[in-house]
Chain A
Amino acid sequence: MLGKLLKHEWKAVWKVPVLLICILMISAVVAGGTFALPIWDSEWVGLPLSGMMLIFMFYFAMIAVVLGVMIYFAVRYYKNMFSDEGYLTNTLPVSARQLLLNKVITMSVWNLIAMIAVGVSIFVFFAIMLFSLTPMDSSFARELVEAVRAWPEALNSPYMDGFEGFCLGILCLVVTGAFSGSMMLIGAITLGQMVRKHRILGAVGAYIGFNVIVQILGTGFFLPMMFKILEYDNIFSQQSPFPILTLFYFVVAGMSLLLGLGLYFMSEYLISHKLELE
């Protein structure tokens, strides 16, 4: 049944995030492409200003994709589970766990896709910008190829020690972040349903509350670690900063995972034991 839930959920939701991502990519190409135009040296201030506005548009598009996807899935979760549509969702012959897993998986995967899309769009923007700024007859392309070729050698330097683990740490952080970010929303909306007369207000309050708690705990827990990292963060040192950063990222990823799991079990308990549709 979880497979069927995922199939229908995926079919129902893909259009909006794909549209947002398409807009982001177009913005990246347009913003990067402005550097190829002869507008920056123009005497009329309107032209460079238009270019800057297009770059700002790309910046806002990045924020819009991440926030847009989050808000879209949060609203969908609320509507599907607790509004009129909840009368269908909650009478399907599936368990509360399957219902929740369906929502969590879909939301987390799309959050992840949105983050990857933002990363790709930044790459696209800078790639177009670099190639636009470089004259066609320059040796830029050749230098770029040489730099890529030199990369494996650079990895062998002591300064780059533990780089692979660091990349794995970032990957874990991004994946657990997508999960815990989704669970913060799902948990807050589910907990908000306990405030019978003001469910949306309850959800917003719970979300703010979760964030405050996470910030307080995070600051208390990670501040000593940050000082340790700063000791390593010396570019003149030959010591690699990656092992300590990797440790830091894995600890944050672990905390993020724990937070997500805690909120997941809370939400599952509330849906299976405290569900009260209006």
Chain B
Amino acid sequence: MNVLVEVNNLTKVYEKKKMALNHMNLTIPRGKIIGLLGPNGSGKTTLIKIINGLLVPTEGEVLVNGRKPGPESKACVSYLPERTYFQNSMQVSELINFFSDFYADFRPERARQMLANLNISEDARLKTLSKGTKEKVQLIMVMSREAQLYILDEPIAGVDPAARDYILRTIISNYNENATVLLSTHLISDIEKVLDEVIFIRDGRVILQDTVENIRECKGKSVDAYFREVFAC
């Protein structure tokens, strides 16, 4: 089965009738790095939250490995949200134990190696780390899993170019080749070189799903340039 995620007629309506997802249909294959791209408020984060079971759809369904969001789907999805979400009082070593306990696919030795590469002490408490270092710790935890689907929501937003390179290197060098990485970002030019496919979202609908190669060949321009053209204000 090559389909990893199926999105069928997915609709999400927030308060005041704001429709974040509008009868969206989408399939996400295995073994790809996919960019989930769209302007602010297009529905990227809403879609990601529904896949992770953090929001309940108003209508339609999401299936991950053929299952609705729940303990089974969460066991095979590794999610990096756009915010710092670990308890500040925890030590890095406690985080490693925590992930080891709950995720069968977590590789603590890989996490330790990446932490050592960045000179982050396992004894450090998260509250003593800078925001950027905390984000790196989060990325290390997420990428130390051998998940089937990695969902990274704005992983390079708000970090310096050197950190961006580190993050992209970490993603490329750690993801399992049979797994899919779904990357949501505005910074297309930075990630374009690592993407296999892109999904353009506007007003809660998928307006394009294609390979990067096809876009370059057929449109004669980069994904970043094509994005600017499609979403021109």
A residues whose Cβ falls under 8 Å from a Cβ of B: 1, 4, 7-8, 12, 84-88, 90-95, 196-197, 273-277
Query: Is B217 on the interface with A (CB-CB < 8 A)?
Result: no
Closest 6 CB pairs of A and B: A93-B75, A87-B85, A93-B74, A277-B54, A87-B81, A93-B71
14 pairs across A/B with beta carbons < 8 Å? A1-B71, A4-B101, A4-B102, A84-B83, A86-B54, A86-B85, A87-B79, A87-B83, A88-B86, A90-B52, A90-B53, A92-B102, A274-B56, A275-B55
Contacts of B49 in A (CB 8 A): 277
Q: Would you call B55 and A277 a contact (CB within 8 A)?
A: yes
Query: Is B165 on the interface with A (CB-CB < 8 A)?
Result: no
Q: Would you call A94 and B85 a contact (CB within 8 A)?
A: no
- A269 CA to B54 CA in the complex, in Å? 14
Q: Which chain A residue shows the least CB distance to B87? A: A85
Contact with A along B14-57 (1 / 0, CB 8 A): 11000000000000000000000000000000000100111110
Interface of B is mostly: loop
Query: Is B89 on the interface with A (CB-CB < 8 A)?
Result: yes
Q: Would you call A91 and B74 a contact (CB within 8 A)?
A: yes
Scan residues 46-74 of chain B and give those whose CB is less than 8 A from a CB of chain A: 49, 52-56, 70-72, 74
Q: Would you call A197 and B72 a contact (CB within 8 A)?
A: no
Contacts of B83 in A (CB 8 A): 84, 87
Contacts of B90 in A (CB 8 A): 12
Q: Which chain B residue shows the least CB distance to A89? A: B85
Q: Would you call B86 and A275 a contact (CB within 8 A)?
A: no
Known contacts A7-B101, A84-B81, A277-B54; 7 further A-B pairs (Cβ under 8 A): A12-B89, A84-B83, A87-B54, A87-B83, A87-B85, A93-B103, A95-B70
Known interface pairs A93-B71, A94-B71, A95-B71; A275-B85 also in contact (CB < 8 Å): no
- A9 CA to B84 CA in the complex, in Å? 20
Contacts of A90 in B (CB 8 A): 52-54
Q: Which chain A residue shows the least CB distance to B141? A: A88
Contacts of B14 in A (CB 8 A): 196
Q: Which chain B residue shows the least CB distance to A277? A: B54
Q: Which chain B residue shows the least CB distance to A83? A: B85
Chain B: minimal CB distance from A199 (Å): 13
- A85 CA to B74 CA in the complex, in Å? 16
Q: Would you call A93 and B53 a contact (CB within 8 A)?
A: no
Query: Is B98 on the interface with A (CB-CB < 8 A)?
Result: yes
Query: Is B77 on the interface with A (CB-CB < 8 A)?
Result: yes
Q: Would you call B98 and A91 a contact (CB within 8 A)?
A: no
Known interface pairs A12-B87, A84-B83, A197-B15; A93-B56 also in contact (CB < 8 Å): no
Interface residues on B, range: 20 to 34
- A275 CA to B53 CA in the complex, in Å? 8
* Most central of A90, A95, A273, A274 by chain B CB within 10 Å: A90
Q: Would you call B54 and A93 a contact (CB within 8 A)?
A: no
- A91 CA to B99 CA in the complex, in Å? 12
Q: Would you call A85 and B98 a contact (CB within 8 A)?
A: no
Chain A: minimal CB distance from B86 (Å): 6
Chain B: minimal CB distance from A267 (Å): 15
- A51 CA to B67 CA in the complex, in Å? 66
- A94 CA to B70 CA in the complex, in Å? 8
* Most central of A1, A12, A93, A94 by chain B CB within 10 Å: A93
Chain A: minimal CB distance from B126 (Å): 11
Q: Would you call B85 and A8 a contact (CB within 8 A)?
A: no
Contacts of A274 in B (CB 8 A): 56
- A86 CA to B85 CA in the complex, in Å? 7
- A274 CA to B53 CA in the complex, in Å? 10
Contacts of B87 in A (CB 8 A): 12, 85
Contacts of A277 in B (CB 8 A): 49, 54-55
- A276 CA to B84 CA in the complex, in Å? 18
Q: Which chain A residue shows the least CB distance to B77? A: A91
- A180 CA to B102 CA in the complex, in Å? 29
- A263 CA to B79 CA in the complex, in Å? 31
- A145 CA to B52 CA in the complex, in Å? 65
- A94 CA to B98 CA in the complex, in Å? 13
Q: Would you call B102 and A93 a contact (CB within 8 A)?
A: yes
- A1 CA to B74 CA in the complex, in Å? 13
- A156 CA to B231 CA in the complex, in Å? 88
Among A94, A95, A196, contact of B102 (Cβ-Cβ < 8 Å): A94
Known interface pairs A91-B74, A94-B71; A85-B86 also in contact (CB < 8 Å): yes
Known interface pairs A4-B101, A12-B87, A84-B84; A93-B72 also in contact (CB < 8 Å): yes
Q: Which chain B residue shows the least CB distance to A5? A: B102
Q: Which chain B residue shows the least CB distance to A80? A: B87
Q: Would you call A8 and B101 a contact (CB within 8 A)?
A: yes
Chain A: minimal CB distance from B148 (Å): 13
